[in-house]
Amino acid sequence: MIEYKVSLREENQRIDKFLRKYLNEAPLSFIYKLFRKKDVKVNGHWVKQDYILKRDELISIYVTDEQLKEFSKPKELQKEPFKYQIIYEDENILVVNKPRGLLVHGDASEKRNTLSNEVLNYLYFKGEYNPRVDHGFIPGPAHRLDRNTSGLVVFGKNLPTLQLLEDLFKDKTDISKIYCALVNGNLDHYMEVDLPLLKDPNSGLVKVAKMKDGAKSALTKVTPIEHIGDMYTLVNVELVTGRTHQIRVHLSNVGYPVVGDGKYGDFKSNRYFKDNYKFENQFLHAEKIMFKNIKKPLDYLSGKTFIAPLAKEEKELLNNLKS
């Protein structure tokens, strides 16, 4: 049996989420079997999987020593300085300028080289996180960016912060995300793209579809910033909703595909940029995050704006196109 006292870092989360972090190598089927068999107790009483933990409560988990050894393995981290640009940091949050080509979270093809792991290494280096001590909470990102989209990612260093940030990014009422994109075509007016989107679970591709067919509402606001000749426009894009590939699918469907977009873009244009500028990636950058009226404990962020500069390659591409 394991006994664990809930600390400030673990309180106010569902107990099943706590167990998934504590028994980080256990399959979900094993975690939920523990609840079915009533092998999880708090202060001596059996609880359901949606029980919300409170500080100083005592969790009892009835597993064998062999199961604990197999399923509870501290994350392998290395104490090292952060190798990417930090835009802002305090005791609660870390705002990072993610380069394109780097995953925020691991997937089937890459699990170790991720932005999340780099952040954990950095916090371990600073003494703000220790996987061998902090069992029930792992600092993490409050939102995601595609691998080949660069720009701002906000991490929560403690559970209350991460929960509040996740709610902010989900609701979007008190937070705004502005992207910078280079698109094909001469866009000369502000527009709002209101087209429902449907994701194919097999291919991962997204398309415009009807709500009755299962599509979800999606709204994107697009403002032209600078015309580059008659063929390209630098635009600001605000996400009102946050669907998968929303910006790229919306811009493509209204005739202004993102330069370098290999899934939804103009393939002839993509070939031109590859051959002439050796530019092979989508020109899409999460440039700005604006906090509005934020609740405690992050109320001090109200009114703040964080901006991530473009990478050197994108800046050089714009200069070359202008010249």
Active site residues: 146
Residue by residue, DSSP assigns 133-190 as T--S---EESS---TT-EEEEEEESSHHHHHHHHHHHHH-SSEEEEEEEEEES---S-
Residue by residue, DSSP assigns 51-118 as PBP-TT-EEEE---HHHHHHH------------SEEEEE-SSEEEEEEPTT-BSS--SS-SSSBHHHH
Strands 197-199 and 206-208: antiparallel
Angle between the N-to-C axes of helices 267-277 and 312-322, in degrees from 0 to 180, rounded to the nearest 10: 100
318 and 228 in contact (C-beta within 8 Å)? yes
3-state secondary structure of 123: helix
User: Where is 167: in which H helix or E strand?
Assistant: helix 159-171
3-state secondary structure of 159: helix
Can you tell me the distance from the alpha carbon of 182 to that of 322, in angstroms, rounded to the nearest whole number? 13
271 Cβ contact partners less than 8 Å away, ≥ 6 residues apart: none
Taking alpha carbons only, the member of 193, 205, 203 closest to residue 250 is: 193
For residue 301, report the phi and psi dihedrals to the nearest 5 degrees: -85, -10
Taking alpha carbons only, the member of 203, 90, 85 closest to residue 150 is: 85
Can you tell me the distance from the alpha carbon of 264 to that of 250, in angstroms, rounded to the nearest whole number? 9
For residue 273, report the phi and psi dihedrals to the nearest 5 degrees: -70, -35
CA distances from 23 to 39, 315, 322 (A): 14, 45, 55
